[in-house]
Amino acid sequence: MTEPVTVVALHVAPGARLPVKSVDRVTVEAGKGIVGDRYHGTKHRHVSVQSATALAEAAELFGSPIDAAGTRRNVTVSHGDVPRQPGDRIRVGDVLLEVVRVAAPCKLLDDTLGRGALEALRRRAGSIFRVLEGGTIAVGDPVADEET
């Protein structure tokens, strides 16, 4: 039996280049994103999701641990692959998310984490989602694929 995928970390940043804050729970609004996050209210970039599995792979290539907060993604899930195909949907806690695009690693990663971090996270940086149904997401919440 496979272990269920769960939320292991949540991060929000009030503005560009401002530090991310680790939180236990977020409120997510349909069509807007995470309340208090820098991308709240943007057209499509509502929530970013990454996998601890991909972070571990990137850390192996990078040669040093990569903290989930260092990537500036909102949601980190325990394991497995984050959907990448536009239109794919996942339910995280109460919230229904739809993939918009694959997330590109931030160009500032080499400055903040160290030289080579950007390349290590390439194709491992998760996906960007829009919010179809709002609600709350908390650390420990289940994550499941949704049929479209």
pTM: 0.92
**Percent of all residues in the chain with a pLDDT value above 70, rounded to a whole number:** 91
CB 68 within 8 A of CB 101: no
The two three-digit tokens of residue 22, written as one number = 């680790």
pLDDT for the residue numbered 122: 77
Q: In this model, does residue 108 exceed pLDDT 80?
A: no
For 137, other C-beta atoms within 10 Å of its C-beta total: 25
Q: Averaged over 46-69, what is the pLDDT?
A: 89
The sheet carrying 25-29 orders its strands as 33-34, 25-29, 135-138
Question: Which class for 94: exposed (0-12), middle (13-18), buried (19 or more C-beta within 10 A)?
Answer: middle
Predicted local distance difference test score (pLDDT) of residue 111: 67
Query: What is the distance between the alpha carbons of residues 80 and 21, in angstroms, rounded to a whole number?
Result: 24
Write down the residue that tokens 């325990």 correspond to: 78
Provide the mean pLDDT of the chain. Answer: 90
